[in-house]
Chain A
């Protein structure tokens, strides 16, 4: 197991495009962490920097306390499995798992022990003599995981691994992944652009956008106290609407008056709005929606529902009003 520490890490490609900016994050030894954010938010680059696939441009990256800024990938004991994995079609499951060890000239007995131990951990002992064409998608995933784990890595990196599965297989794989995390006891970083997937993992989650961290927290925290409009919108997805409203002090209550609707501001928000000097001004109101089959554009036209939760954001900075 190994802890991973990023301090002010920036990755700028030669084209001048910064994929990751001033990224600071501590991943504890043996922690299961989810990185999420929309496409091109820098998640894959973070994983690739940990693995040594991308040299960092500035800052400090430590694995297990040792600075590894530009160390070669093979020197880092990191297991990886990305969404577009494949199994070697002409090899049995046994040979698939032991392939890299064989290439590296490891003795047959050592390979056998490692393959059998991993097959046991991933509960695929019965599949060792099968060929990939005989396996279903879920079994293929387990084989790929066993293959990535064969070197007993100190950290395990997964990029959108469950994205290619259907809903029921995904649920099973997620449960297996969680139980495996307890079995293999290694630092596990899982990156996905699917906020629902991230939420269902129910572990510490990092929300990223444009190469930067927007918020770190457990899912409940990210949903109940989003730091800004983006985090709220990303975490709730299509179950989130927004509207510009004016905060008006009525005779009996403080009201938020929007385009075609008005509502009483929940009492817990009033001190924050007063403190920030938002009385009589326009703010951005975010609200949860029970169900929304509409596209994103249509969400602008929605109105809060009776059981919506509310969030207020500064209209210019889009930061949560707290």
Chain B
């Protein structure tokens, strides 16, 4: 449970204080951390000690100790020396490692609780009981951030996020799959969505610059009770999806700011197909050539202003009018008319949504 790096740091720190060489092995004799070379030579002695009933023993000039975690043998510790000093030093180290095990277990339990909470795997009564046991406040405001990295199991990104929020022990960082890091953030009094947007920006900027990771950040609504945390998580996941479909130029998406994408995302596919058939008469806007699509997007970007669009496309006004007329002939929609323009815009978004659903099906 404890990483070898932590064990190594611990025994190096203790060696610095007590000036005694130390080594930690697992119950199969494998060296996990050591302050002296050639520790592998003691593998057989460790295996023999594991089998013996003794809790401590002097073998080949080393004090051997068993380190238990709730009566289960976890590690064997070796401390150089056969005298009382080595024995006492070894006992101190064993005590330290056992405390580490307890601390890590508590952290693991919290992590497990948060994961199950997010995934709706807990009964309501269990939520309150376990939260109380783990000293997790029930009635504080929280919001869930989902951070999607481009590469799977991006440990640098995960460590960066953990380090960013490490002193705030009331924030939880976990992962329920390989590409998403989840931050359950506790809000201070007076903090609002504006502050959450800043947190999202900070996460993105830090992961961009420090972890060199391209990420998308989404967050749900602020909830007031621990049982609602999973709702905030689901909202954040949905925001991430909706952002990818409709707002691909945005790296940060908030659930409470999804606009029309929120509505389209909820539509049944059969209804979408019917709508597209009605508008495009069986054709797909994907069949439109690039030039036409660029023209349409630019025309929308410029609020249906013909002069500004033609200026930005470096084409004559009449050329733009010709293109719009051509589109009107093929679709029956005149983009210069607000109602037709909005129908077309929604149809384009619906098509994007349908394409996304197709990629999921494949």
Listed in ascending order, the chain A residues whose CB lies under 8 Å from chain B are: 13-17, 19, 48, 51-54, 73-74, 79-86, 88-91, 99-100, 103-104, 147-148, 159, 210
Contacts and interface: CB of A to CB of B under 8 A. Distances in A.
Given A15-B247, A15-B249, A90-B167, A73 B205 contact: no
A15 B294 CA distance: 11
Contact of A17 (B164, B167, B212, B301): B301
Contacts of B168: 89
19 contacts: A13-B248, A15-B247, A15-B248, A15-B249, A17-B249, A17-B297, A73-B214, A79-B209, A82-B209, A84-B204, A84-B205, A86-B202, A88-B163, A88-B166, A89-B166, A90-B163, A90-B166, A99-B163, A103-B159
A159 B213 CA distance: 17
Contact of A13 (B204, B211, B249): B249
Given A16-B297, A99-B163, A103-B156, A81 B209 contact: yes
B156 A80 contact: no
A15 B243 CA distance: 10
Contacts of B246: 15
A48 B163 CA distance: 24
A90 B168 CA distance: 9
B294 A16 contact: yes
A91 to B, nearest CB: 7
B249 A19 contact: yes
B327 interface: no
Given A16-B294, A19-B249, A88-B163, A74 B202 contact: no
Closest 8 CB pairs of A and B: A13-B249, A82-B205, A80-B209, A90-B166, A14-B248, A73-B212, A84-B205, A16-B297
A81 B166 CA distance: 21
Contacts of B99: none
Nearest to A318: B311
A222 to B, nearest CB: 22
Interface string B300-332: 010000000000100000000000000000000
Interface in B273-307: 293-294, 297, 301
Contacts of B209: 79-82, 85, 148
B198 interface: yes
* Interface class of chain A by DSSP: loop
A211 to B, nearest CB: 10
Interface band, chain B: 20 to 34
Contacts of B206: 84-86
Contacts of A159: 205
Contact of A91 (B163, B211, B297): B163
Nearest to B201: A84
B289 to A, nearest CB: 13
B164 A86 contact: yes
Given A16-B294, A83-B205, A84-B198, A89 B249 contact: no
A104 B156 CA distance: 8
Contacts of B294: 16
A13 B211 CA distance: 23
Interface in B158-202: 159, 163-168, 198, 201-202
B210 interface: yes
Nearest to B151: A72
B4 interface: no
Contacts of B301: 17
B360 to A, nearest CB: 16
B213 A73 contact: yes
Residue in B155, B156, B168, B205 with the greatest tally of chain A CB atoms within 10 Å? B205
Contacts of B155: 103
B208 interface: yes
Interface in B232-265: 246-249
A100 B210 contact: yes
A115 to B, nearest CB: 15
A189 to B, nearest CB: 13
Contacts of A13: 248-249
A100 B205 contact: no
A53 B214 contact: yes
B94 to A, nearest CB: 26
B166 to A, nearest CB: 4
Contacts of A104: 156
Interface in B130-164: 155-156, 159, 163-164
Contacts of B156: 100, 103-104
Contacts of B248: 13-15
A254 B293 CA distance: 48
